[in-house]
Amino acid sequence: MLQKISGTTFNDHGPIKILYPGLDSTADSGIGSIGRIDHATFRGKHKIPMHPHVNDEILSYFRTGKVKHSDSEGFSENLDGKKIMLMKAGKRFYHEEDIDGQAEPHEGLQIFIRPGKKDLKPEVIFQDLDELYSDNKWRLLASPWVETKFRFSSQTWIFDTRLSADTSIVLPELPKDGLTGLLYVYQGSVMINQEISLEKNDALVFKDEKFTISTSSGAELVLFFTDENSSIFKGGMYSGNKKG
């Protein structure tokens, strides 16, 4: 199964484009534990004031620009492309973001993952990446495994890569059988098996498929896997189901 999701299906909220990956085709606005993906681009200074999250696990994946994060757990940290963050909101959690988009536009993703169960203890984790990009190979950013610093409470895996022009790549070895995948084009454009074209903001949902991803001009990709049969809580403030 290969299903393309066009970037034109995003909900626009000013500088933030919001993708609910299951909204157009299922009774669930998400896909398994993948609740929502926000692609934000801010130019100039912006402040997003203190606001709550409840039962969301949020990976902040910023690639350009800088942002200062502050939260109700007492953490205050400057984030950029090489310092990323996982917020595990649990029962209730507040944070704010002070965005410095003057030197360069601030662009990145906030990825809302559904927790494995309701009302877990809030937790904030920061990670310094060795390299800004993972060139032409998949990098595992987060998983349910203890081996990764960013550990989800649900059965969810996130990878990324940057492909050079005129290169191709296949999917990484699957963490387990029976997973559903979501490939998101963060920058550039790719072809799937030389048959399906994906541009920036497009996504591809797949299951039980193997394919080759190729690009003529270069691309940045984020890859998700979720076990739709595993235990998740679908009532999170942002990650939860918006249908029915």
Q: What are the extents of the domains in the chain?
A: 2-226
Topology given in CATH for the domain delimited by 2-226? Jelly Rolls (2.60.120)
Block residue for tokens 């032409």? 136
Which pLDDT does position 46 carry in this prediction? 83
How far does Cα 185 stand from its chain's mean position?
A: 11
Q: What tokens appear for 70 in the block?
A: 């502050």
Please give the average per-residue pLDDT across 47-71, as a whole number: 94
Does the pLDDT value for residue 58 go beyond 70?
yes
Number of H helices, E strands in the chain: 0, 21
| Other residues' Cβ atoms within 10 Å of the Cβ of residue 166 | 10
Does the pLDDT value for residue 101 go beyond 80?
no
Please give the average per-residue pLDDT across 192-207, as a whole number: 97
Nearest partner of 192 among 1, 7, 30, 38, judged by Cα: 1
Which pLDDT does position 14 carry in this prediction? 86
Does the pLDDT value for residue 227 go beyond 90?
yes
Please give the average per-residue pLDDT across 121-141, as a whole number: 96
Q: What tokens appear for 185 in the block?
A: 């084009």
Please give the average per-residue pLDDT across 123-135, as a whole number: 96
Please give the average per-residue pLDDT across 110-139, as a whole number: 96
Q: pLDDT digit string (tens) for 150-182?
A: 999 999 999 999 999 999 999 999 989 999 999
Of the chain, the percentage scoring pLDDT greater than 70 comes to 99
Q: Residue 212, by phi and psi: left (phi above 0), alpha (psi -120 to 50) or beta?
A: beta
Is residue 8 classed as helix, strand or coil in its secondary structure?
helix
Q: How far apart are CA 226 and CA 102, in angstroms?
A: 37
Which pLDDT does position 93 carry in this prediction? 87
Q: How far apart are CA 175 and CA 155, in angstroms?
A: 10
**Average pLDDT of every residue of the chain:** 94
